[in-house]
Structure 1
Amino acid sequence: MPQPTLGIMALYLNGKRLEEIDYFRKLTIQGKKLELNVIVFTPEDLHPTKKAIAALQYDPLNKKWTRSWKPIPNLIYDRCRYQKNYRFPLLRKFRASYPQLTYLNRPIAHKWNVYQSLYKDRSIRAYLPETIQYHKASDLSPFLQKYPLVYLKPSDGTGGRGILCIRRLGNQLFLIQGRDLSRRIIPPRKMRADQIAASFQSWGFKDHYLIQQGISLALPDGRVHDYRLLIQKNGKGDWEVTGCAGRIGPLRSVTSNLHGGGKAMSMLKLLQSRFNSAEKVTEISKSMEQLSHLVAVHLEKHYGRLCELALDIAVSPTGQVWLLEVNPKPAREVFARIKEIDTYESAIRRPLEYALYLNEKNHSE
């Protein structure tokens, strides 16, 4: 059997810049160890008439990227993240034009559609904060009355952009803080319920938004925190939790994202600092892992083949586990930040091992 090739499909940002080029370099190096060729391309690199792509390939010896025409590989690892421009329709067109290729992962829907799908599963429903779509100011009122803490978040946002936290101070007084669409921290301000919607519009938040029950994430020093769990397919085609890490946001931030200035911490250390019970920590860890398997199996049944998912998880002061978000195109740098090098390398290697599993499966059928 000839050495297989994995095509990593991405989208350009500005010009010919690729957001995850360092990750792709590491995939190439790991691929050589596994006897798997790795090339990188975008739908824009497709030849107009030939079934070929102007692919990038990394040479570990010379430490250089070169571009050359390559046949379209049968194995595709989709790392395309949503963009509001002409590039995303090109991705859809590529997938529609080449349905016979073996894709490691399928696109999944926006946060609202994912929430609705997960909510239908009774075993998952108990982990989900109450969430609705935001259409008008009156949609927010019942949540402000019902919960002391409410979040507004874009249905297709990433990295903590555009998230607002609304905390009840009194009967009609609320504290508003968050991040704008460029991740800049919005200073806390107090306002009445009837002023919130106007402020929301004035900050330029025009996209589709969700209203979500807030979970208390504040640590004793006031910083918010959550947990990032990575579950991936292994070389046998089975779901397996690769690792989980804590994330702690900077002061005055309502999000813990690393891109927004957050720091990473060992999951166990963070849980142990909050719960003075080894049994409780073990119980919470098992609950997180169980949730990740339930979510992965459910979403794969609903959307088709997937190879990895990251779950953003909150743990309440009582130890209840909540699912905040699901990310189908996860980063894995959080494990490098906490010096869990074996976990970090596994997180890079597993998509490659899964690609080899699918390749062998294709040739045996």
Structure 2
Amino acid sequence: MKYKSSTIKNKWKKTQWLLKDTYFQKYVPHTLPFNQKNLSAMLNDYTSVFFKPTDGSGGKNIIRIRKIDSGYQSQLNTTKTSYSTTAQLYRDLNRFAGSRSYLLQKGIQLAKSNAKPFDIRVMVQKTRQGDWVSTALFTKVGNPNKVATNYNQGGTIGTFSKTMHGANFSSTFTSQLELELKRLGVAVGKNFDRHYKGFHELGLDVAVDSKGKPWILEVNTRPQIYPLKASIDKSLYNKILSYGKHYGRFK
């Protein structure tokens, strides 16, 4: 059986779907299409801004821009470059983008678990009856020297409760957040269904800031779960597969 779940690559389109619904507005970091005017405006308002491809995946080609005393610093993977003006920075980013479309997103100061930044993946899947269920929560714990937490950027997969404990969040708070994220996942599924047909699974990438507030960084319509296969406890991996069989997810 062939995998059948709709795929939408355009991150800007998916962001706009969420922003049309007031429920999600407090969860979505300020995001704008990349151009010179938007770059200046974002750097005016925030100390860090992410520059990411509209159709990217796996954390590739994401550049973090930070304000520093002498101007701005960009970081791609582990390479840092400094600029004294936004005009210089824009010229370089524009050259890097080429003909590809990019977005600018307000940088969220990620909470750290045992000194490593992390974000959370909320896996949402449809049952055979067509109801959305949040089936799995796990964390992507980043390499502190990299820009993205993704597995293929040197990140590791962690369990939700252990990662939250390592970030000094209480078990009561962790349980409340887990409930909130599962509800959020189901709500995103219903929102996406209103805009496009044929979704059977989604993967929300959620950042938690140092105060514990969740932010939806993006919604993946073709979420990868292969890193879970390598974990010692395969129960999450197997659970996702058991829900995914009816729409052709076998790995």
Same-fold status (TM-score > 0.5) = yes
Selected match of 2:177 from 269, 277, 284 = 284
Selected match of 1:295 from 182, 188, 203 = 188
Q: Which residue of 2 aligns with 1:114?
A: 14
3-state SS of the aligned residue for 1:114? helix
Q: CA deviation at 1:236?
A: 3.4
Partner amino acid for 1:187?
T
Q: Which residue of 2 aligns with 1:266?
A: 159
Map 1:47-62 → 2, pairs under 5 A: none
Structure 2 gaps of 5+ residues are none
Hey, what's the Cα distance between the residues in 1 that align with 2:180 and 2:169?
17
Residues 222 and 268 (structure 1), Cα distance of their counterparts in 2 relative to 1, 3 Å cut:
closer
Q: Is the 8 A contact 2:135 2:239 kept in 1?
A: yes
Hey, what's the Cα distance between the residues in 2 that align with 1:228 and 1:267?
9
3-state SS of the aligned residue for 1:264? strand
Partner amino acid for 2:46?
Y
Residues 218 and 199 (structure 1), Cα distance of their counterparts in 2 relative to 1, 3 Å cut:
farther
3-state SS of the aligned residue for 2:112? coil
Q: Is the 8 A contact 2:114 2:166 kept in 1?
A: no
Q: Which residue of 2 aligns with 1:124?
A: 24
Selected match of 1:187 from 79, 83, 95 = 79
1:176-199 CA distances to partner (integer Å, 9 max, x unpaired)? Answer: 102xxxxxx251222223321122
Map 1:142-181 → 2, pairs under 5 A: 142-170=41-69, 173-178=71-76
Please tell me whether Structure 1 or Structure 2 has the larger radius of gyration of its CA atoms. 1
1:282-305 CA distances to partner (integer Å, 9 max, x unpaired)? Answer: 122122111111100110121013
Map 1:204-223 → 2, pairs under 5 A: 205-217=98-110, 219=112, 223=116
Q: CA deviation at 1:308?
A: 0.5
Q: Which residue of 2 aligns with 1:227?
A: 120
Q: Which residue of 2 aligns with 1:344?
A: 237
Q: Is the 8 A contact 1:225 1:255 kept in 2?
A: no
Total equivalences in the alignment:
247
Q: CA deviation at 1:174?
A: 1.9
TM-score by length of 1: 0.63
> Is 2:129 the counterpart of 1:253?
no
RMSD, aligned α-carbons? 2.0
3-state SS of the aligned residue for 1:224? strand
3-state SS of the aligned residue for 1:160? coil
Hey, what's the Cα distance between the residues in 2 that align with 1:277 and 1:283?
10
Residues 206 and 246 (structure 1), Cα distance of their counterparts in 2 relative to 1, 3 Å cut:
same
Partner amino acid for 2:26?
A
Partner amino acid for 2:63?
L
Q: Is the 8 A contact 1:231 1:241 kept in 2?
A: yes
- Tell me which moved more, 276-285 or 123-132: 276-285
Q: CA deviation at 1:239?
A: 1.3
Partner amino acid for 2:17?
S
Q: CA deviation at 1:126?
A: 1.1
TM-score by length of 2: 0.90
Hey, what's the Cα distance between the residues in 1 that align with 2:246 and 2:95?
48
Selected match of 2:227 from 320, 334, 355 = 334
Hey, what's the Cα distance between the residues in 2 that align with 1:278 and 1:214?
27
Residues 197 and 267 (structure 1), Cα distance of their counterparts in 2 relative to 1, 3 Å cut:
same
Structure 1 gaps of 5+ residues are 1-5, 9-76, 79-104, 179-184, 356-365
1:331-354 CA distances to partner (integer Å, 9 max, x unpaired)? Answer: 112333433312211212212245
Residues 195 and 218 (structure 1), Cα distance of their counterparts in 2 relative to 1, 3 Å cut:
farther
> Is 2:39 the counterpart of 1:140?
yes
Q: CA deviation at 1:202?
A: 4.2
Hey, what's the Cα distance between the residues in 2 that align with 1:308 and 1:112?
19
